[in-house]
């Protein structure tokens, strides 16, 4: 395995990891955590070779789990999509979406009978229902009158003790007003969000604003910072570790973003593989140095390789 070469200013240069070295990295792992969008598929099309590669990993006895910041699908829906695109069968317990992780967090954090005000979509509400978390159903909302005084008098549910922010195509000023009013009740009203991804890339170089833009709006209005359940926060990995007996030293995180997937992996002591099929490019990987949040005095390595010679993705390995 080729170690990174230091550059002026402490930057490191990517090196290609292939052949026996690549197989050794995969062979040393028991569990692989995969991001989905930009790693396994784009839209409704699987990336070439991805399904076959994961099939070979599963046949070799590897545990495959899926960790995604996307809150617009339930665990059940992700399992169905994996099956539809030809990936190895995955039960819901192998899928850890930010909607599920948010519901799990609130189930643990809220007192009995407390509810959540939700800025999100149907999948987020479905995961809350599955977890038994009372909540106000999401959907379009209108201002209750023409004047600011009317907006400040809109009815509030006395049971609400949390504001949960996910991807919400119906996000509006009316919802922002309600979220602020709930949070102004005091610090016992939690502010929780699924992720901070600020932009969602689309085909052809297009993009749309991500959940992080909505989270920032609520944080700015409330003058409070949200607890993030998704990557790079380690809470998502903790959800996986609570479900399976996982050794971080024998676990690989595979993702397409340095600032979420790779950062979470580094923070949790995992081996990390960065695909060059999504957000982060090879040039960005060469120029940027991703540090774990608990900075340790150790050399970090970056290299690139094809996965099992079948997954036609370039990968960046961040060794410990």
Which of 204, 136, 205, 146 lies closest to 168 in space, CA to CA? 136
Strands 63-68 and 95-97: parallel
Kindly name the residue from 37, 168, 197, 261 that is annotated as catalytic. 37
Mean pLDDT score, 247-257: 94
Dump pLDDT digits (tens) for 291-320.
432 222 222 333 343 343 334 333 444 444
The verdict on whether 35 is a catalytic residue reads yes
DSSP state at residue 137: P
Which of 148, 208, 195, 135 lies closest to 174 in space, CA to CA? 148
The verdict on whether 197 is a catalytic residue reads no
pLDDT at 67: 98
H-helix or E-strand containing 136?
Answer: strand 135-136
- Tell whether 294 is in a known binding site: no
- Tell whether 35 is in a known binding site: yes
- Tell whether 150 is in a known binding site: no
pLDDT at 276: 80
Token pair in block for residue 239: 């959800």
Token pair in block for residue 194: 């699924």
CB contact at 8 A, 308 and 281 = no
Dump pLDDT digits (tens) for 87-145.
999 999 999 999 999 999 999 999 999 999 999 999 999 999 999 999 999 999 999 99
CA dist., res. 58 & res. 41, Å (int): 18
CB contact at 8 A, 1 and 319 = yes
Kindly name the residue from 35, 168, 197, 261 that is annotated as catalytic. 35
Torsion angle (degrees, nearest 10) of CA 93, 199, 277, 69: -10
CA dist., res. 282 & res. 29, Å (int): 24
pTM of the model as a whole: 0.86
Domains of the chain, each with CATH number or no CATH: 5-69+232-319 (3.40.50.1000), 99-228 (3.40.50.1000)
């Amino acid at each position: 395995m080729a170690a990174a070469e230091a550059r002026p200013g402490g930057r490191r240069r990517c090196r290609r990891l292939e052949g026996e070295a690549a197989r050794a990295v995969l062979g040393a792992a028991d569990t692989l955590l995969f991001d989905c969008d930009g790693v396994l598929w784009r839209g409704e099309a699987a990336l070439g070779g991805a399904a076959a590669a994961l099939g070979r990993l599963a046949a070799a006895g590897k545990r495959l789990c899926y960790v995604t910041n996307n809150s617009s699908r339930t665990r059940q829906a992700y399992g169905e999509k994996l099956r539809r695109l030809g990936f190895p069968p995955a039960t819901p317990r192998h899928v850890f979406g930010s909607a599920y992780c948010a519901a799990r967090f609130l189930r643990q954090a809220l007192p009995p009978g407390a509810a959540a005000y939700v800025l999100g979509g149907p999948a987020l509400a479905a995961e809350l229902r599955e977890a038994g978390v009372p909540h106000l159903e999401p959907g379009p909302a209108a201002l209750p009158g023409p004047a600011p005084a009317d907006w400040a008098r809109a009815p509030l549910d006395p049971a609400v003790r949390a504001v949960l922010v996910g991807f919400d195509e119906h996000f509006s000023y009316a919802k922002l007003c309600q979220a602020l009013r709930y949070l102004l009740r005091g610090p016992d009203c939690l502010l929780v969000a699924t992720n901070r991804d600020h932009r969602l890339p689309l085909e052809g170089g297009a993009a749309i604003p991500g959940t992080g833009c909505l989270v920032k709006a609520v944080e700015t209005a409330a003058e409070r910072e949200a607890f993030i359940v998704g990557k790079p926060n380690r809470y998502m990995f903790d959800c996986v570790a609570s479900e399976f007996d996982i050794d971080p030293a024998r676990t690989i995180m595979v993702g397409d973003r340095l600032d979420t997937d790779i950062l979470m992996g580094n923070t949790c002591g995992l081996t990390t593989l960065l695909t060059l099929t999504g957000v982060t490019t090879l040039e960005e990987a060469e120029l940027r140095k991703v540090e774990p949040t608990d900075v340790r005095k150790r050399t970090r390595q970056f290299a690139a390789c094809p996965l099992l010679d079948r997954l036609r993705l370039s990968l960046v390995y961040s060794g410990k």
